[in-house]
Amino acid sequence: MSPADASGPASSAPRADFVDHPMELGRGTTTLLVGVLTRAATLSAITGAQAVASMIAGLAALGRSVAETVEGRHMRDALDRGRLSENLDLLFGRLGLGALASASPPTPMLEDFFNDVALVLAPDISESVDAALASVFEGSGIGILRSAEPVDPVDFLVGLWAFASEVAATLSDVIQAGPLLDRVTSADEQAAGQGRMLR
């Protein structure tokens, strides 16, 4: 099962954008905290199966995007053959994972991860917690509920590979940066246009 428009030119790999653009909501430390708290609060309102299905759908969505790149397309083609693909189709079908994930809004796995990394590197979390908690309690938490899409098991695998690769690369960057991270300006200052978040 090749990705759509496989014969067309491959696009560049998706990358996180940590620059706050005009006319868009800035991602200051408080905003990033609200995002985390809102996700945590959501867990009390859904079942474990719904949470897992949403993450599977999110990884599959990432896989579809990554499969439009040269490297992603090669990975997908390698996975989408033989026993691996057949067994995935069987398991997703017989266990109901495919149907459940296909009916679930996809979690933006990579975006959430990058925002969480930006949050844990922010120097002003302690000063922002109270404002973030107040925003969540007042029901002003922000978020976009993405539309559900059919989930292909191979797309899920490609997304899992891409997600794991980005996690490993990002954490390696963080470790190598070391003491330089202490010089990062606050996320609130960056959102106000006084700096950029590291990537």
Tens place of pLDDT for every residue, the chain, 199 residues?
A: 444 444 444 444 444 444 444 455 556 888 888 888 888 888 888 899 999 999 999 999 999 999 999 999 999 999 998 898 899 999 999 989 999 999 999 999 999 999 888 888 888 887 777 777 777 655 544 455 678 899 999 999 999 999 999 999 998 888 887 666 655 554 444 443 333 323 3
Q: How many structural domains compose the chain? A: 1
Predicted confidence at residue 146, as pLDDT, reads 75
Structure tokens at 129: 């917690």
Predicted confidence at residue 121, as pLDDT, reads 84
Structural domain contains residue 17: no
Predicted confidence at residue 191, as pLDDT, reads 42
- Name 100's Cβ contacts closer than 8 Å, sequence gap at least 6: 49, 50, 53
What letter does residue 14 receive in the DSSP assignment?
P
Predicted TM-score (pTM) of this structure:
0.71
- Name 194's Cβ contacts closer than 8 Å, sequence gap at least 6: 185
**126: containing domain:** 29-194
Predicted confidence at residue 7, as pLDDT, reads 43
Predicted confidence at residue 9, as pLDDT, reads 44
Three-state secondary structure call for residue 36: helix
Structural domain contains residue 18: no
Three-state secondary structure call for residue 197: coil
**What are the angstrom distances between the C-alpha of 149 and each of 86, 102, 107, 194?**
21, 5, 12, 38
Structural domain contains residue 1: no
Question: How far apart are alpha carbons 87 and 82 in whole angstroms?
Answer: 9
Predicted confidence at residue 81, as pLDDT, reads 86
Residue 43 in contact with residue 51, Cβ under 8 Å? yes
Predicted confidence at residue 132, as pLDDT, reads 76
Structural domain contains residue 7: no
Structural domain contains residue 19: no
Structural domain contains residue 9: no
Residue 124 in contact with residue 194, Cβ under 8 Å? no
Structural domain contains residue 151: yes
Predicted confidence at residue 136, as pLDDT, reads 65
Structural domain contains residue 93: yes
